[in-house]
Structure 1
Amino acid sequence: MSFYLRKSIKAGPFRFNLSKSGIGVSTGIPGFRAGTGPRGHYVHMGRGGVYYRATLGARSQPHPPQPTKPTQRASAQAFRPSGVVMEDVTGSTAFELQPTSSDDVVEQLNGASSRVAWGWWAIGVAFLLGLVTLPFGLIVWVLAAPGCAWLVLNDRAHKTVVLFYDVHDDHSSWFDSLVTQWDWLTDSQRVWRVLQSGAVTTTYQFKTNSGAGRLLSRVTGSATTSGPKELATNIAVPSIRAGKAALYFLPDRALVRDGKHFSDVGYAHLHASAGHTRFIEDAALPGDAVQVDHTWQYVNVKGGPDRRYKDNRQLPVMRYSTLDITSPQGLQWQLQVSRDGATAAVAKALSASPGPQIRTASEPKVQQIPQRNSVTKPRRPVSASASAPPAARSGLVGTRGANPASTATASEIPRALLTRTPTRHTVDGVTFTAIDIETTGLDPSTDQIVEIGLVKFTADGTVLDEFATLVDSPGSSLGAREVHGIDDADLTGAPRLDQALPEAFAFMAGTALVAHNLDFEGGFLAAAAAHTRLSLPPVLGLCTLQTSRRQLEGRAFSLTAMYKTATGGWNEQRHTALGDARAVREVLLWLLRTSPHRLYLTQAPPAAIPVPMRQCAISCRPVGLSRASVAELLDAFPQSPVVRIGDPPAILQYQAVLTDAAEDGRLTYEEAAALTDQARLTRLTGTQLRQLHQKAWEAAFPEHSSDWAALSATDRKEMYLLADALGLTDLADELRHVIEASAEPPPSAEARYLQGLRIAILGDHSEIIDLRKEAESYGARLAVNITKTVRWLATSTPEATDSRHTTARTLGLPIISPAEARTRLAEAIREAELKAFERQRQIDEQLAQRRQREAEADAYWRPTWRSWELDYDPPRQPWGD
């Protein structure tokens, strides 16, 4: 038990109280006493044994945010103790951020917010004092009223910082646009700020968190156009508040607030990006949100409902917009907005700041001016009049990126030519990187990269590595979407530009960067580097379009035409970044290989200096399947030796689909489509996905010998069909060679129709034997032992009492006659034929389109080498590029 000394010391009308909690002071008259101490301010009144005591402005313990709201195929239900480690994602607070501006606006705001408002305290004390001294209290109120009014006005004057902005030129239109676009947020029903985030890494966590890939802790926020109460200004102030923190966007800076402390961040240091997320919501659904799917409170490994739970309620999967606002100094705000598509315009407006161009006096000074009326904030920005006092105008002087120590600026990519004139720089030993990008539009100053594909290779054609990912840059124009086919929904979960670009730059560093129209790719790379405050990597640019037009005679030099010239075929992955980058590689190799004279570089590529790189979470775009085999799917992903961690829950789901497919020995069209949808979510390369397919194939045939020639024809057929369906082309080719060497007929398409059907056919009558042969010819699996996986049993002796008939009765399996079995087989075959017919119709349509293109005059697509190269770029023809 601890002891302490409590003592009171009087000094005139004041009493000082010494206690274990600290020192307090009070004053008053008999029957009423007011004071302050370590636990807050208080009043105490009463006589004759009846007393009243109240603590005013006591410090209440802040309620911690409710942990866990899952997202990214995530769930919003309450956190379960499943071992998910939550990490803070709020970045630096205003206490930790150093102001980026040189004036004293932040200092004055901090002083105003920390000042005690004595006026209201005086009113409270005067009211209570008059109340306990009635009827003489009326005199107290009359005498105290003027002093209290003066104190309130004085507090308002000293707790208000006045800023008058005189915004001109493009900065005025930019800020006006920002305020206009802010309506997207203010009109949204719900805004949240993410405080904590934790990755789901185990199967148990995945099952008990509704299939969540990540758990989030959120706090409800709001978006307005009214600034902090300490600021009086002549413009609207776009603002975001969440708990005790807030962001306020002024024309020359963004104010950051935590509690009563302010800091600021210049727009040159601010980065904003928008996107979308899938969020499983269990709270009240916002009316402006879009539901895109559903899940359950408890899920199984495949994402379906866990049947072990009775009250396993269904939860909606909502599509929310996201807005990330960050700075190199540590600012980090992750926002979710209920209104779909509400953040793209806001992020674009924030990113389009032309830099501080606000007219201001040479020594900007913010005055604290007494105010007698409450400050009102107009909905639209209004420029201060030209007659406004210069001392009342505030802003920054300078240009964007004026501090070279803090910001790396982009420069143009140095370029070289391929020439027949011998130089010291041969292509031998040069490492090339073919690049293609898809964008939201054609203007690098306003549009952004939405997909990037890279192929690193040598002059002899050896592919060293590949890299590809979508980039979370929504807002593609209609024309751009018609070209590349990327909708904003496809960008869910894709890395932001500032996450993908460092790895892409490290990938291409020290190589010759090859593009078909380098002006386009180079312009967007330079703009992206400037936007993310990165330096362009050391590369040497090389344009195959420029080379083709100088070296070749022909009518068309587009990438499509040159790929047709180089390979004789058509690029089936056209307008996917990786597919077009691979096409650029083919064009360059064809130029090097078929040139009548050896081609040289006009200058040497930079030295291959390793560049530090951190992997980003790639999100690759799969191509559509033209058949049930997923070979095209695996080929559409980067073929890379780099091992990526990927997304563990998504990988588990991908493996679950593979396991189901391998167990019944086939891959249906539905399963192939499910693999296509799930492949992007795994964040793995094509090489890693192929390894998963190899393991699934091996698990399906664990006891089969590697001596395939010693296996039965049926076993070899099943192994071949599954390898072919899983896209394991090398393995399928080896098995096919063994089948051909054994003089066996190759498996027909019909041999896959009934591979998911397991039945039992008992007896040795001719009708039974014919039925068994027909079922095997269509791929049905004939069971030797009767288990619950058998669909039905066909027999000519249904009353038999042997073990197989008895087991079928025990399991409740249908026991049918050969005639009924033949009817069921016919129905199953007819259903499979209809599916195969529909798929074949799609394949035929694709083939017809391909033949129509191939029917064009071959000479049109086949340019010839000029007798000599041009030393200038010939004028472009309207049909040529």
Structure 2
Amino acid sequence: MAWSYRKRIKIIPGVHLNISRKGISTTIGVKGASLNIGPGGTYLNTSIPALGIRNRQRLSPAGAAPPVYDTPEVTTLEPERRGNIFSVAPNEVTSNDMKGVKETIIAAHRQKKELMADLEKVKSSLGLSRIKLVFSYVFLIGLVAKSVRQKIRETITAQQEAVEQINEQIDNSCMRMDVEFDADIKAKFDSLSEAFKLLSQSKKVWDVTAATSQNRVAARSAASTLVMKTEVAIAIKDIPDIKSDVNPLWLKNANGADLYFYPGFIVMYDSHDQFGIIGLDELQFDFGAVRFIEDGVVPADSKVIDRTWAKVNKNGTPDKRFKGNYQIPVVRYGRISLKTKQGMHEEYEFSNYEATESFGHALSNYIRSVS
């Protein structure tokens, strides 16, 4: 009737981001050994104070110069966009400097998965013990029954304690990230978060999945580009395997992995084993306005800046060969584009242009300050 449960769990390394004017450095590890990643390169730090050992070993050279970020003026022209717009598989986009962070997240989830399997086994044993206790009142009598029931109760108590312990271990099986900002950079990130919250209140948010040119004369249309886009959501939302005091900015992806903006990196997250991490210094970001011929309902927070016809001549006049030809509003929407050399390529449109512009400036300013 004896029962015991023992489980040794790994100590998941913590991740510390130090964000200053010199750039973003990432320290991964526990006391005694850590991996430090920053603008000056990647170093392995080893420290055993009791033996007087301290060592710092350089593992990789400093990174390349950061890209230039565009902040285009408002334009009445559509940006040139061709073909499908999507990213490669998330496992293929991880930056070299972010591989240690990814491995930490994978280790945390693997441990959580093992603990959840253990939890199910203990719960099953607990249920069986409770059944045995019920039967002990039916089939056992006298002193023997009292002795058996006492042992079963002790087993149930131990199993209940094990359930509590495992649940606590599951809760702790995650990558814990703490962030240390320079004061001025913290202010810029706070401004970015506020701008994103305002952007998330847009009446419409679309993930642009394709854009192809069309012959305006043949189509009798004022639109030179046909755009395919899907309405999506954006919000402040966490990834289960990462715990941090700083909440990430989440953008739903209609044709791939979702995007989570943390202070030092972007996580392209599809599932627990399908994700990639991209350093902000590798992000090519731009934003601006786009003219869109809106044949549907114009969102309440959008501005109509022009009008055209359903069937239009090259000079903009209505094509009188079509009966019932009608006017269509031309609306100004906001647009952002996110790319990396590793294969990330995402584009979004927003009904609220002013909110898009504020977010675009806030993100550009933040990236410049840490690159």
Give TM-score scaled by structure 1 length.
0.26
1:805-856 per-residue CA deviation (whole Å, 9 max, x = no partner) reads xxxxxxxxxxxxxxxxxxxxxxxxxxxxxxxxxxxxxxxxxxxxxxxxxxxx
Q: How far apart, CA to CA, are the structure 2 residues paired with 1:296 and 1:148?
A: 67
Q: Is the 8 A contact 2:207 2:231 kept in 1?
A: yes
Q: Is the 8 A contact 1:119 1:152 kept in 2?
A: no
- The CA deviation at 1:102 is 4.7
Query: Does the alignment pair 1:247 with 2:243?
Result: no
Work out which of the residue numbers 196, 199, 213 in structure 2 matches 1:182: 196
Partner of 2:270: 258
Partner of 1:193: 207
Work out which of the residue numbers 170, 173, 177 in structure 1 matches 2:187: 173
- The CA deviation at 1:154 is 4.8
Question: Aligned ranges for residues 278-357 of structure 1 at < 5 Å?
Answer: 278-310=291-323, 312=325, 314-353=327-366
Is the alpha carbon distance of 1:256 and 1:200 closer, same or farther for their aligned partners in structure 2, counting shifts above 3 Å?
A: same
Q: How far apart, CA to CA, are the structure 1 residues paired with 2:320 and 2:245?
A: 61
Question: Aligned ranges for residues 713-862 of structure 1 at < 5 Å?
Answer: none
- The CA deviation at 1:220 is 2.0
Question: Aligned ranges for residues 692-731 of structure 1 at < 5 Å?
Answer: none
- The CA deviation at 1:148 is 7.0
The gaps in structure 1 that reach 5 residues or longer are 1-71, 75-84, 137-142, 358-399, 401-881
1:153-199 per-residue CA deviation (whole Å, 9 max, x = no partner) reads 554443x3221112224332332222232233123222212111111
Question: Aligned ranges for residues 130-141 of structure 1 at < 5 Å?
Answer: none
- The CA deviation at 1:320 is 0.3
- The CA deviation at 1:319 is 0.8
Identity %: 22
Q: How far apart, CA to CA, are the structure 1 residues paired with 2:171 and 2:88?
A: 30
1:449-485 per-residue CA deviation (whole Å, 9 max, x = no partner) reads xxxxxxxxxxxxxxxxxxxxxxxxxxxxxxxxxxxxx
Partner of 1:222: 233
Partner of 2:177: 163
Work out which of the residue numbers 244, 248, 252 in structure 2 matches 1:237: 248
Partner of 1:586: none
SS, match of residue 172 in structure 1: helix
Q: Is the 8 A contact 1:99 1:106 kept in 2?
A: no
Work out which of the residue numbers 80, 83, 89 in structure 2 matches 1:87: 83
- The CA deviation at 1:308 is 4.7
Is the alpha carbon distance of 1:167 and 1:304 closer, same or farther for their aligned partners in structure 2, counting shifts above 3 Å?
A: same
- The CA deviation at 1:333 is 1.9
- The CA deviation at 1:338 is 0.8
Is the alpha carbon distance of 1:263 and 1:355 closer, same or farther for their aligned partners in structure 2, counting shifts above 3 Å?
A: farther
The gaps in structure 2 that reach 5 residues or longer are 1-75, 135-155
Partner of 1:491: none
**What count of residue pairs does the alignment treat as equivalent?**
259
Q: Is the 8 A contact 2:267 2:277 kept in 1?
A: yes
Q: Is the 8 A contact 2:237 2:250 kept in 1?
A: yes
Question: Aligned ranges for residues 270-285 of structure 1 at < 5 Å?
Answer: 270-285=283-298
The letter for the 2-side match of 1:245 is A
Q: How far apart, CA to CA, are the structure 1 residues paired with 2:270 and 2:235?
A: 17
Q: How far apart, CA to CA, are the structure 2 residues paired with 1:283 and 1:195?
A: 19
Partner of 2:105: 109
Is the alpha carbon distance of 1:287 and 1:109 closer, same or farther for their aligned partners in structure 2, counting shifts above 3 Å?
A: farther
Higher RCO (CA 8 Å, separation ≥ 6 residues): 2
- The CA deviation at 1:112 is 5.0
The letter for the 1-side match of 2:100 is D
1:474-506 per-residue CA deviation (whole Å, 9 max, x = no partner) reads xxxxxxxxxxxxxxxxxxxxxxxxxxxxxxxxx
Q: How far apart, CA to CA, are the structure 1 residues paired with 2:118 and 2:312?
A: 56
The letter for the 1-side match of 2:233 is S
The letter for the 1-side match of 2:282 is H
Q: How far apart, CA to CA, are the structure 2 residues paired with 1:270 and 1:253?
A: 9
Q: Is the 8 A contact 1:73 1:279 kept in 2?
A: no
The letter for the 1-side match of 2:287 is A
Question: Aligned ranges for residues 37-56 of structure 1 at < 5 Å?
Answer: none
Is the alpha carbon distance of 1:356 and 1:317 closer, same or farther for their aligned partners in structure 2, counting shifts above 3 Å?
A: closer
- The CA deviation at 1:120 is 12
Of Structure 1 and Structure 2, the greater strand share is in 2
The letter for the 1-side match of 2:306 is D
SS, match of residue 102 in structure 2: helix
Q: How far apart, CA to CA, are the structure 2 residues paired with 1:323 and 1:347?
A: 7
The letter for the 2-side match of 1:256 is M
Partner of 2:92: 96
Q: Is the 8 A contact 1:267 1:355 kept in 2?
A: no
Q: How far apart, CA to CA, are the structure 1 residues paired with 2:353 and 2:181?
A: 32
Q: How far apart, CA to CA, are the structure 1 residues paired with 2:104 and 2:262?
A: 16
Give TM-score scaled by structure 2 length.
0.58
Is the alpha carbon distance of 1:167 and 1:323 closer, same or farther for their aligned partners in structure 2, counting shifts above 3 Å?
A: same
> Higher Cα Rg: structure 1 or 2?
1
Partner of 2:281: 268
- The CA deviation at 1:253 is 1.9
Is the alpha carbon distance of 1:315 and 1:355 closer, same or farther for their aligned partners in structure 2, counting shifts above 3 Å?
A: closer
Is the alpha carbon distance of 1:329 and 1:103 closer, same or farther for their aligned partners in structure 2, counting shifts above 3 Å?
A: closer
Q: How far apart, CA to CA, are the structure 2 residues paired with 1:254 and 1:349?
A: 16
Is the alpha carbon distance of 1:149 and 1:241 closer, same or farther for their aligned partners in structure 2, counting shifts above 3 Å?
A: farther
Question: Aligned ranges for residues 401-440 of structure 1 at < 5 Å?
Answer: none
SS, match of residue 287 in structure 1: coil
SS, match of residue 319 in structure 1: strand
1:624-659 per-residue CA deviation (whole Å, 9 max, x = no partner) reads xxxxxxxxxxxxxxxxxxxxxxxxxxxxxxxxxxxx
1:323-366 per-residue CA deviation (whole Å, 9 max, x = no partner) reads 12223333222111111222223222222236787xxxxxxxxx
Is the alpha carbon distance of 1:300 and 1:149 closer, same or farther for their aligned partners in structure 2, counting shifts above 3 Å?
A: farther
SS, match of residue 242 in structure 1: coil
The letter for the 1-side match of 2:269 is R
The letter for the 2-side match of 1:180 is E
SS, match of residue 343 in structure 2: coil
- The CA deviation at 1:149 is 6.7
SS, match of residue 282 in structure 1: coil
- The CA deviation at 1:278 is 1.0
Q: Is the 8 A contact 1:280 1:317 kept in 2?
A: yes
1:208-230 per-residue CA deviation (whole Å, 9 max, x = no partner) reads xx432111121223332333233
Is the alpha carbon distance of 1:274 and 1:151 closer, same or farther for their aligned partners in structure 2, counting shifts above 3 Å?
A: same
